[in-house]
Amino acid sequence: MRVVRADQLQEGDKLGRSLYTEDGRLILRQGVVLDKRLIEAIKKRNLRYLSIETTPAYGADPRALKENLRDQMKDLLTLVLDTVSRGGPVPVDEVLSWSEHMAGIVMEERDLLYHYEDLLRGEGDLIAHSVNVCFLAMLTAKALGYSTQRIKSVAVGSLLHDIGLFKPHDGTMVINHPQVGYELLRQYAGLAPAALKIVAQHHEQLDGRGFPHGTKGAELTEEAQICGLCSEFDYFMNDKLADKLPCGGIEYVMSKIDTSYSYAVVRGFLKAFVPYPVGTEIRLTGGLHATVVELNKGHLARPVVRLNQFGTKFNLMEHPSFMVEAVV
């Protein structure tokens, strides 16, 4: 499955999810092969995003799927940024159309996880940051057992969590950007309250030491905690003042349990992010080079590796004195 804009449709594409009108009437059924006539009809209905079944030409590689989904996020965020920075209306219909398809794909793809190598780089790049946060937040929500509808709210809220920074500013309003973003979005119908709470609360913490309002405890929604944790993790990993290893990111996230975020949210995140996917080349303590061959589900930061020099398997869970020093 992949998500495409209507202007990217090609003859022969097979519809991956049925299309309906706003009042629930079927437009096109899943599995229909699109021809020129149907593509033109779809465009006339102003449907911006659609799900298309994966074809042999596109490939079934999970990396290709993630690249496709990231590209659509970047495309949509660029539209939002350009529009809002000019003082125009937020393209809510496009955001909701995208989230419908994105949430469906996240639920349908059982093995979809975010790897260290998937993180878009660019400290200070709002679009790269928002893509990383949104992808990680959706997968964390899925790991927590959220329904498709709840994942859709997480998708919208986390994609737009920093929209308050999209408006022109002189830097003095940064601490208030969650409130600015919330006030901007609350005027639009169709946005779920859970999504708006994410925008308003993504910098709040359980112990009340967040901002801008010091919201704490049960007043802080779980969806907002998910977005906040993913945001902090991305900032930590993109700090260019120091090279950050994936295991360092895992330790950072775990240090936030019960002070900033609940144990459940952190546990969900640790199921969604894979620091060292199979095939990763790493350097261990003592200069040993190895390749990850298997994941330890109980501790994804301590995988089973094959030592390149000796060709033998080496379980890092059984050898705590050996640490990952670098991703080669």
DSSP 24-67: S-EEE-TTPBP-HHHHHHHHHTT--EEEE---TTT---HHHHHH
Residue 107 host element (H or E): helix 92-108
Task: List, for residues 93-116, the tens digit of each pLDDT value.
Answer: 999 999 999 999 999 888 888 988
Assess whether pLDDT exceeds 60 at residue 55: no
The C-alpha atoms of residue 284 and residue 307 are separated, in whole angstroms, by: 9
- For 141-153, the pLDDT digits (tens) are 999 999 999 999 9
Nearest in space to 227 (alpha carbons), one of 138, 293, 100: 138
Torsion of CA 268, 273, 276, 279, to 10 degrees: 120
Q: Is the per-residue pLDDT at 156 higher than 90?
A: yes
- Local confidence band at 80 (pLDDT 50, 70, 90 cut-offs): very high
**pLDDT in the model for residue 58:** 47
Distances (CA, A) of 284 to 242, 302, 311: 19, 11, 15
| Residue indicated by tokens 């350009």 | 82
Alpha-carbon gap, residue 260 to 266, rounded angstroms: 10
Cβ–Cβ < 8 Å for 279, 291:
yes
Of residues 285 and 20, more confidence is placed in: 285
Q: CA–CA separation, 142 vs 140, rounded Å? A: 5
Q: Residue 326 above 90 pLDDT?
A: no
In the predicted structure, residue 54 carries a pLDDT above the cut 60: yes
- pLDDT digit string (tens) for 162-218? 999 998 876 777 899 999 999 999 999 999 999 999 999 999 999 999 999 999 999
Higher pLDDT, 43 or 233: 233
DSSP string, 210-279: -SSS---GGGS-HHHHHHHHHHHHHHHHT-TTS---HHHHHHHHHTTBTTTB-HHHHHHHHHHEESS-TT
> If you average pLDDT over each of 14-28, 156-170, 231-245, which comes out highest?
156-170
Residue 193 CA to residue 149 CA, distance in Å, equals 12
CA 84: distance to chain centroid? 22
Parallel, antiparallel or unpaired: strands 324-327 and 281-284: antiparallel
164 contacts 211 by C-beta, under 8 angstroms: no
Q: What are 257-273's pLDDT values in tens digits?
A: 999 999 999 999 999 99
Token pair recorded at residue 225:
């905690």
24: burial class by Cβ within 10 Å (0-12, 13-18, 19+)?
exposed
